[in-house]
Structure 1
Amino acid sequence: MEHSAPDLFRQQFNEHYPSVRRKLVALIRDEAAAEDLAQEAFLRLYRNPPDQPEAIGGWLHRVLTRLAYDYMDKKARERALTEKQEQSMLSQPQAAQSGEQVLLDKDEQDLVQGWLDALPKRDKQLLLLRYEGYSYAEIAEQLKVRQPQVGMMLRRAGDRLKRHAQKAESVFLHEKKV
């Protein structure tokens, strides 16, 4: 009896997935990433199977090994970049701020605070929560709205803040001319 391609793939998946996943876990030591990479290996098998079906085991081993090494290289580059950034931050002497700079920074903070205070309460909350690093899901939970609405609400609040800033700037420039 002839097997269809999806049936043959399902059979190969059921037969090889446990060993592919186990090998990936042993190589990269991360269960979740191993799951993702195993799925990627089988996706490649589905899209572009080897010419000889009896060679699937070896083919999968080569693919999973390459995927694991690529993953580990990527993680090593990310770690190196993070370390480089940390070293750069630590090695740069913290510039002592002049009294004038401190006053300018304080004035700027007061100005932004004034613009925020002119916004509706909800807009102010949205912008402050996002500025503090809250995710869209956390903001949605705090404000009791659905998560998909948060992006649009933030954009609109940002637009209103921008309009307040532009209005204040135009008033300031007008007063300066007079």
Structure 2
Amino acid sequence: MPLDERPARFQALFRAHYPAVLRKITLLIGERAAAEDLTQEVFLRLYRNPPEDLDRVGPWLHRVLTRIVYDHYRKSGRESSLAEKQLHQAMSEEQAHPSNETAVIQSWERDVVRSVLNKLSERDRQALLLKEQGYSHGEIAEALQVNPKIVGTLLMRASNRFKKNLLSEEALEL
């Protein structure tokens, strides 16, 4: 196609196909503003690298818009993955290097928990600590030398005593 005909032909194709391309992309991604940007990208590709047969531009536009939408999803997936990694890293750094206020609060919480645990019987304290460390009921029963059938009840009662002592400890702090 001669260069002087190219802008007029492109404008005609743009006017004829823009609404359909925009509608398809909007349906695929659900965001009007992003769909408009992606539609512009489709038509930029048409202008820069038009197909050989401009009479069959419809299927060509459909292939291009499909690729652009896939690229959009791939890119947004990478961005959300990157954001999740950055959040995880920030949280890890906060745990590794807590602020002074956070360190003081964590120290206070540990002291309160130790104090409350020390008020429990040896068996209750061991049961709760083993459960917290991820031991199964069978392993807890073996360590405490009790019937495995009573471990659930033992843990529930120990937990209730812990909560009761914790509430009384917090009441004393106030």
| TM-score between the two structures when normalised by the length of structure 2 | 0.51
2:136 aligns with none
Which amino acid is 1:11 matched to? Answer: A
Counterparts of 1:1-178 in structure 2, within 5 Å, are 4-92=5-93, 93-96=95-98
CA drift at 1:97: 6.2
Which amino acid is 2:42 matched to? Answer: A
CA drift at 1:65: 0.7
Which amino acid is 1:33 matched to? Answer: A
Gaps of 5+ in 2: 101-174
| TM-score between the two structures when normalised by the length of structure 1 | 0.50
Tell me, in whole angstroms, the C-alpha distance in 1 between the residues paired with 2:12 and 2:81.
Answer: 41
Tell me, in whole angstroms, the C-alpha distance in 2 between the residues paired with 1:42 and 1:97.
Answer: 52
* Consecutive aligned runs of 4 or more in structure 1 exceeding 3 Å deviation: none
How many percent identity over aligned positions? Answer: 49
Give the stretch that moved more between structures: 73-82 or 87-96.
87-96
CA RMSD of aligned residues (A): 2.1
Structure number with larger C-alpha Rg? 2
